Chain A
Amino acid sequence: MSQLSERNAHAYWRKNKALIVKLGVIWAAVSYGCGILFVEQLNQVQIGGYKLGFWFAQQGSIYTFIALVFYYARAMAKLDKLFGVEEQE
């Protein structure tokens, strides 16, 4: 098991942070954006009995959160392998 070089560790951390920022933007967009700030505009659109803004606030944001967490877990598992920092079995 070779020691992770400092440069590599920094590159790994930068990639992790970039991913966090990217997913964080989506996280904020569905909750604070669609669910609160732009709720009135979105409420003009109706899906079945749901006004779209209301749907995001009470349903849609939660489904998106689940997708974000699993996407992050998968993307990080790949990144761990790429940089050779995954845990040993």
Chain B
Amino acid sequence: MDLALTTYVVVGLTFALYLGIAVWARAGSTKEFYVAGGGVHPVANGMATAADWMSAASFIGMAGLIAFMGYGGSVFLMGWTGGYVILAMLLAPYLRKYGKFTVPEFIGDRFYSDTARIVAVICLIICSVTYVIGQMKGIGVAFSRFLETDYETGLYTGMVIVFFYAVLGGMKGITYTQIAQYCVLILAYTIPAIFISLQLTGNPIPQLGLGSTLSGSDTFLLDKLDETVQLLGFAEYTTHARLSTLNMVAFTASLMIGTAGLPHVIIRFFTVPKVKDARSSAGWALVFIAILYTTAPAVAGMARLNIMQTLEPAPGEYLRIDERPAWFRNWEATGLLAIEDKNSDGLIQYSADPATNELVKLDRDILVLANPEIAQLPNWVIALVAAGGLAAALSTAAGLLLAISSAISHDLLKSTLLPNISEKTELNASRGAMALAILGAGYLGLHPPGFAAGTVALAFGLAASSIFPALMMGIFSQRVTREGAITGMLVGIGLTLFYVFQHKGIMFVADWRYLDHLPENWFFGIEPNAFGVVGALLNFIVAWLVSHLSAPPPQRVQELVENIRVPLGSGVAHVHH
């Protein structure tokens, strides 16, 4: 069977599986739509959380970024896993005890203010939409390759499928579908990694393969990689930091705090039966995530080495343009890979010097998808990777859209603006909100502010600077007041948005930026993607100061805080009428 047909079959089968589960578990009541009735086992919930969490950024984008950033790419690995430690200790158990099902609802009650709730809804929508843009980039890349079209057509196709998919089921459909998606995506990620690790090092475990010697020699793979990249003028793979140590720390911290502040991840912990389960569920989620996250550095390093060796099999011996492999031509068709024979010698010279480099475009987001083709693995493996990438992007997009739609229909319409609407209208409003979010994110995905993982990193910065501090202070302090929380959130997200837009353009439209995207313009050399932690610190400081200038929270709120701190007496997540 040829590759295109195999891909259609494998992707088609996995889609039939997800849709089958979504229809089978189709949500009836609003409560089921949002939180699956509160009865999901911690291991199952951990697996679904992992699928929800690992998006196009993790699956498609991250290894590609690490492959070209080397050690500097570690910020993504540590940032996107370390956040679960914060989540498990500082937020999940208490929010589960509180027992509602949206994040703005907690903020509204804890800070005894509808204004706080609406501000939280706005912050949530800003972070989630930014996040969906990153997904759209990934979906667009995957579909463009899979359908053999350009990136735009791939993106439009992806939008239609995400819409159909997310609107059909609610949380319950999503929880069970996401377990299926986790299985597909983790197989799709690890199988090629195992093959490639075997090919290069003879060790089937990629995590060990990366630290092994190359087959038939006693040179370590990483030493060979360091040597190869340096020969072409690139920085040493295993030691080259991302900009500066301060920037590495800020970037890692923004991703960690943002992980704990992203509403679509937090609401997953409302679906476990007990507070105890919320703690262990975070651990299980991290185990399932770590399988991919510890494999990613191996995929990155090995793919980089494979690409280098394809382009330049021996020093000074270059790949002939008319002999370039099929994967090269396939990706050129999507517009995401391009070569230009600058010195017209019919060879591809790849180098760190932009003046002589002839591999003029290599979109980082194609690396994971192209990886099995580069390593000449069988067609079914390549098809499986396409299915896995789509599973990752779809599951996260669906989870995010659910968070957006529940914030709009439940927190904005039902509870503040139109309290008398029926459950059915509420469900329909939430579906409408999903459709709008997809259109908006799809439009912005035509000109994404960066590679999938970079765009998603911006969403984390926004969540870190707004939602996380409000939640943490709401639990750990009885003194933080409504005035403090509202000004804190507004200042945090406002400053972060100001900084990001300044360099990336308003709503990420590059023409609308007011300062060039140049390191000289950066505050202490901190890049926009890493700025969330500064916004978060400011949020904490402002909230604390304003709280001490305003009247303390009422007695019932102080009692609420006392109450959520102990597990005793929790019920299942429930709806307020």
Contacts and interface: CB of A to CB of B under 8 A. Distances in A.
Given A37-B249, A73-B280, A49 B223 contact: yes
B294 interface: yes
A52 B333 CA distance: 41
Interface in A21-37: 23-24, 27, 31-32, 35-37
A85 B566 contact: yes
B279 interface: yes
A51 B238 contact: yes
Interface in A1-28: 1, 4, 9, 12-13, 16, 20, 23-24, 27
B494 interface: no
B283 A66 contact: yes
B249 A73 contact: no
A4 to B, nearest CB: 6
A87 B78 contact: no
A1 B568 CA distance: 10
Contacts of B245: 36-37
Contact of A43 (B208, B221, B239): B239
B207 A59 contact: yes
Q: Is the interface of A mostly helix, strand, loop or mixed?
A: helix
A84 B569 CA distance: 11
Interface in A48-89: 48-51, 54-55, 57-59, 61-63, 65-66, 68-70, 72-73, 76-77, 80, 83-88
A23 B222 contact: no
Contacts of B566: 4, 9, 12-13, 83, 85
Contacts of B211: 47-50, 55
B293 A73 contact: no
B540 to A, nearest CB: 16
Nearest to A89: B274
Nearest to B93: A76
Contact of B567 (A37, A55, A87): A87
Interface centre among B248, B280, B283, by most chain A C-beta atoms within 10 angstroms, is B283
Contacts of A32: 249, 252-253
B570 interface: yes
B567 A85 contact: yes
B276 A87 contact: yes
B351 to A, nearest CB: 25
B190 interface: no
A58 B570 contact: no
Interface string B123-153: 0000000000000000000000000000000
B568 A24 contact: no
B14 interface: no
A37 B248 CA distance: 9
Contact of A36 (B81, B252, B568): B252
A14 B212 CA distance: 46
Interface in B201-225: 207-208, 210-213, 220-223
Contacts of B9: none
B212 A49 contact: yes
Nearest to A80: B567
B22 interface: no
B570 A87 contact: yes
Given A36-B249, A73-B280, A63 B290 contact: yes
Nearest to A43: B239
A36 B567 contact: no
Given A36-B252, A61-B77, A61-B82, 8 more contacts: A9-B566, A32-B253, A40-B239, A50-B210, A69-B85, A70-B280, A76-B93, A87-B276
13 contacts: A27-B85, A27-B86, A31-B78, A39-B241, A48-B212, A49-B210, A49-B212, A49-B220, A58-B294, A62-B77, A73-B282, A77-B279, A87-B568
